[in-house]
């Protein structure tokens, strides 16, 4: 079980301070949301931010590309220091190629599905990925309510990897993860939990991380 705070909810003027607090507070990964204003109706971060984060933290950088034609930018994010690069199944007709490209950079490849996309759509790419991210909200904004209907997709995916032991991906969930929802996602089979507004919305990030980890360990 790993917790991946999303820096989308951080204080951007004090990003280094916030990243240090997350690391000291027990975060396992740092989740970086990239948004292009096209695939999702919002803009956030680019490879320069990943490059700036790389020397200031030992935490693995979990980069979530919410952008059209992500294959054109994979080289940049790999060179910037991403440890995982995740691309949306819905974002490109060349999903297989995009995942191959990520692996060629010796970066962990991940595929992401929106709430409306079924798990079965992923069948042909599951052998290529180290991580599958199930969006538990519509992508684009922090602070949205968790969609309970996504839990059966987590459970279905967990069943697939238990049935076929050649598949070795982790299951990540992202959106609306808080002290009311994290246990449901864990019970359904998720291994990695992205949380933004819950972690940054409390008294201290360390306290919020401890609360969430206490619920899944």
Ligand X SMILES: O=C(CO)[C@H](O)[C@H](O)COP(=O)(O)O
As measured in angstroms, the least distance from the Cβ of 171 to ligand X is 16
Stretch touching ligand X by CB under 6 A, among 77-85, 94-102, 160-168, 172-180:
172-180
Residue 63 contacts by C-beta under 8 Å, 6 or more apart in sequence?
A: 32, 34, 50, 77, 82, 83, 84, 85, 86
Among 73, 174, 181, 209, binds ligand X (CB under 6 A): 174
Helix or strand run (H / E) with residue 9: none
Q: Which is nearer to ligand X, 162 or 183 (CB)?
A: 183
Q: Sheet harboring 108-113: ordered strands across?
A: 2-5, 192-195, 170-174, 131-135, 108-113, 84-88, 61-66, 30-36, 43-44
Q: Which is nearer to ligand X, 164 or 207 (CB)?
A: 207
Tell me if 143 contacts ligand X by CB under 6 A: yes
Dihedral pair phi/psi, residue 173, rounded to 5°:
-125, 145
Residue 41 contacts by C-beta under 8 Å, 6 or more apart in sequence?
A: 140
Residues 34-53 that bind ligand X (CB under 6 A): none
As measured in angstroms, the least distance from the Cβ of 143 to ligand X is 5
As measured in angstroms, the least distance from the Cβ of 70 to ligand X is 14
As measured in angstroms, the least distance from the Cβ of 147 to ligand X is 11
As measured in angstroms, the least distance from the Cβ of 162 to ligand X is 27
Among 113, 137, 151, 182, binds ligand X (CB under 6 A): 137
Question: Among 150, 105, 106, which Cα is nearest to 132's?
Answer: 150
Helix or strand run (H / E) with residue 152: helix 151-163
Which residues are known to be catalytic? 33, 174
What is the contact mask toward ligand X in residues 88 to 127, using x (rule: CB under 6 A)?
----------------------------------------
Distances 27 to 49, 183, 195 between C-alpha atoms, Å = 19, 17, 10
Tell me if 9 contacts ligand X by CB under 6 A: yes
Among 60, 109, 142, 189, binds ligand X (CB under 6 A): 142
Contact 115, 135 (CB under 8 A): yes
Contact 154, 131 (CB under 8 A): no
> In the complex, which residues of this chain contact ligand X (CB under 6 A)?
6, 8-9, 31, 33, 64, 137, 139-144, 174-177, 194-198
């Amino acid at each position: 079980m790993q917790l991946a705070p999303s820096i989308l909810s951080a204080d951007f003027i004090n990003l280094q301070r916030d990243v240090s607090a997350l690391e000291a507070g027990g975060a396992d990964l740092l989740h970086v949301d990239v948004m292009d204003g096209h695939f999702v109706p919002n803009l956030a971060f680019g490879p320069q931010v990943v490059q700036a984060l790389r020397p200031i933290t030992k935490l693995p950088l979990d980069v979530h590309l919410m952008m059209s034609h992500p294959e054109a930018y994979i080289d940049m994010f790999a060179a910037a220091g991403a440890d995982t690069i995740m691309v949306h199944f819905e974002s490109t007709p060349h999903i297989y190629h995009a995942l191959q490209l990520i692996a060629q950079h010796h970066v962990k490849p991940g595929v992401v599905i929106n709430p409306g996309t079924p798990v079965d759509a992923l069948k042909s790419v599951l052998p290529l990925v180290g991580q599958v991210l199930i969006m538990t909200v519509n992508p684009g904004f922090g602070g949205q309510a968790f969609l309970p209907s996504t839990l059966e997709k987590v459970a279905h995916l967990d069943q697939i990897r238990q049935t076929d032991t050649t598949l070795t991906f982790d299951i990540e969930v992202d959106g609306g993860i808080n002290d009311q929802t994290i246990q449901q996602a864990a019970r359904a089979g998720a291994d990695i939990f992205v949380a933004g507004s819950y972690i940054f919305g409390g008294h201290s990030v360390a306290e919020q991380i401890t609360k969430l980890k206490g619920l899944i360990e």
